[in-house]
Structure 1
Amino acid sequence: MPTRSSSGCRLCGQPITTQPLTLGVLPVCNRFTRDGRVDHSWALDIVECEACRLVQLREAPPPEIVAPAVPWIRYREPESHLDALVERLVSFRPLAGRALGTGPFEQPLLTRLAGRGLQIESLDLEEKGCGGRHPYLETWQARLNAADLAAPAASLGTFDIVSCRYLIEHTSAPVDALQALKTLLSPQGLLLIEVPDSSKFLAARDYCFLWEEHSCYFVEETLRRLAEESGYRVLALLRYPGALEDALAAVLTPAEGSPAAVSPRGSSSLFQAYRDDFAPTRARLRGKLATLAGPDGDRIALFGIGHHAIMFANAFGVADMFALAVDDDRDKAGFFPPGFAVPVIGSDRLLADGQITTCLFAVAPHIEGKVREKLAPLAARGVEFRSIYAALDNAITKDLAP
């Protein structure tokens, strides 16, 4: 399966000539180690197609580079909107009898469809026997192609509803993936594609949402174009709001004929501003954190060590400024986050450290209140809490204006 887009856009195939946002060669975010060595890195250049305006990685890493080396890497995707989403799905096909989930985030949706009387099936695309690695999203998405879906299509038959949640943004060949999924659909079947919407973090100029595992960064316009390029008609394009990024759900059905030609529109002002603001933001943030870290570099903690925190630290070049990397996930304890000089510790160690004067949060907004309660003794002695997320009022980047 192709993994690179140097020769053209992943969506429309047109040459990409725009200046990239270059983050440099960064550690792969899920490669936690016991000794702090960086064993896998990737050059992250983010580009926007001038023809269709899909923001994407110029070169996406092959699955073996980003497949987890530890068994406990896991991701959660939003579920609170699924009752409303199922209501809309069923309204399009009230007589639907069979539904198929094609990824690791399908069970909450399938459970709701089963409650509506549908027969449900799950597609298992995990690669077996992968030499000690732990297959997950990247090995799964790489098998969304005609060759790998031929056998499931033959054995399972077709379905009235096929769901693919939070996988398409990972694939390097999204048009091929949607075309391959068509073999699992009945003639009037519905394909549900759900992806994170990128417009909020682009507008906020938040760089921790970039990730070597996401080949594509969709907004409404490009998700609609993906559907049309892949031979579908869009029945509905639904948005479900989130604090940092919304969920976009496209309800599709197979279409006849070729997609309409789209005239090149040029690079968007949204991406241009996002690209151009990175270098000055990075320089100002490094200066600010160097001051906060103090002469001995022992005053800043980072709480919540997921891929957003790791991207924030490495893309901005500030990983070495954190005296403590804090997370209460016991699986992470003692592991070094990629690019960090310190291993993960629990919040008890943070509470006992009298040198910390600033704690950066890399936790979801709905969790931050509970974290603040847990760390109340720090606030009582004057420790400042700030967020890594640029869209939030307490973001560490808020007061970095030149």
Structure 2
Amino acid sequence: MMAHIGIVGAGLAGAGAAYALRDTDHEVTILEKSRGVGGRAATRRRDGCRYDYGANYVKVPDDRTGELIRDLGEEGLVDIAEPVWTFGADGEIAPGDGDDDHKYTWEAGITQFAKRLLAESGAEVRKTTRVAALDRAGGTWAATDTDGDDHGPFDALVLTPPAPQTAELLAATEGADADGALEDLRAAVEGTKYRTIRTLVLHYPFELDVPWYGLVDTDKAHEIGWLSREECKRGHVPDGESLLIVQPSPEWSAERYDDPLEETAETAATLAADLVGDDRLADPDWVDDQGWRYALPNEGLDGDRDGVEGGGTDADADGTADAVAAAREAGVFVAGDWVAGRGRAAAALWNGIDAGESIADRL
């Protein structure tokens, strides 16, 4: 029986869910608030440069991820050759452990990941469509956007926005929940906490002569958490230029989240110059930024934490699992890196694929 599946969000979780449904007879419609796809796996263009300003690359944690990326087409695929090095609270840079093989992006940018998944899926993507409320009537679902337009009916829904926004949608759901299933899920989703990141993009009319692609703070005590060079990605930066992606610590980012770009970029450039040991970096010739209020989840719905010791109790995990299962029985699925508990592109992708496969098994 053909069903109509609605997916809220065209990030990697939403694209993964649609991809998982590609060989079914189901119709898939994705409602995306922005003008593009990919979520944090996003790319911009400026002055001859392309740059991945959210997720910097796709790390390949297992064979299935690498196989999927290659199956989507190797034309334009970039495997960053330069290594990731480390530094600590003292700013001393050192070679990494070498365990950073296969850092994938594309010549056209990391947005290609979602674009290629969606092209294979055949799903309809309705962009600039911000969902404001959900409704259930007669056993099917409908979504209303901020312009007052209705979408549906849907036999099942996959919600992939960050947890706080998913919780708002669950709270704005009518006619659906006599047994409290979605209310229980909303309560569990609301407990997911995030780290905020404000990305700074710094361009220079010269190329750095260093042996690394990226630097990561292993102590999590420096004002910079991550710094990388887009010129290491084929097709991203013209020869003889440098483009740095600077992602400060969550604390630094939250404190300066709403500060003017010029002021924040100046401070970030000074930090980058001090870290790399090159005074020229204090004076970029153009800058850009993007704030990610909900950048990295501290933990997933089951209490698994992303790089933080300790999680929820067994009782909490059991209660959340019951809420997720009850919501799925009602036709509502949640997916994203925040469900998996790991702020990684591959985690979001496979969590979305899992949701899509669960729908295919049920309908």
Instruction: Using structure 2 for the length normalisation, give the TM-score.
Output: 0.26
Q: Which structure is higher in RCO with an 8 Å CA cutoff and minimum separation 6?
A: 2
Instruction: Using structure 1 for the length normalisation, give the TM-score.
Output: 0.24
**By percentage of residues, which structure has more strand?**
2
